[in-house]
Amino acid sequence: MRVYISIDMEGVAGVVHEDQTDPVDPRHAGEYNRFRRLMTAEANAAIEGALAAGAERVLVNDSHWLMMNLLAEELHPVAELLSGGPKARSMVEGVELGFDAAFFVGYHARAGVGPAVIDHTYTSRVYEARLNSRPVGELAINAALAGTYDVPVALVSGDQAVAAEARDFLGPAVETVVVKEAVGRFAARSVAPAEACRRIREGATAALRRPHAPFRLTSPIRLEVDFQLTQMADMAELAPGSVRTAGRTVTFTHEDYREVFRAWRALYNLASVE
């Protein structure tokens, strides 16, 4: 059995604020380095759970911010680590190599959901993203790309909001591991890190002991992105094939979701240019 793990940081137990997840600002180095160790521990818990269910190969894709967060020397020796960027498939880079199941660990809810810890969709520039008129976040965007490679998402961990999002998109078979209850964007009741790891480990094993179906979208696939500012949409509409459909909304439509995902990355990256 081959298992793929995409791990983010905002959904890790104990994380409640962006300062704890920021690898750039030196003022936050102390907090960030504490929480990257907790992130690595949750990755290891997911790996251990997969091994207990019979996994023979595990690839872990570091998916937070600059994608250089996991402590390589502390990662379980059975797993391969994919880190750094940019990556063509971003948070699900490597999924195209062939896997039987994927885990999304440390994930968070889409932009605009509350209460949810540090809700956003890839970047704070995005007010809302929709696929075929349905609001989506990183979970659905990434699960759909995994689905084009026939890889189902078997487990999602994070707060209660992303767990609800996972069940809504992926159905009742997905294993959801809640490690904290958000009470606001920057506040949560969290279990202890050791307890979070226990839940993830057991959840991973349980998830792999039942079948899961890949998440796929009906073609043609229409991506709509509402940006925070019209200026951002001014730049995003420069992406080939995109259409400005409202003051701060840019739309892209294609039969192939892999092309839609490529357009999604271009849209939010262009929106960062001033």
Catalytic residue (choose from 28, 120, 212, 254): 120
120 is catalytic: yes
Measured distance CA(185)–CA(124) in Å, rounded: 13
Token digits for 103? 């885990």
> Between helices 160-170 and 138-148, what is the axis angle to 10°?
40
17 contacts 182 by C-beta, under 8 angstroms: no
Burial profile 205-222: b = 16 or more Cβ within 10 angstroms, e = fewer = bbbbeeebebbebeeebb
Token digits for 198? 């226990």
Token digits for 176? 């959801």
Which residues does the annotation mark as catalytic? Answer: 120
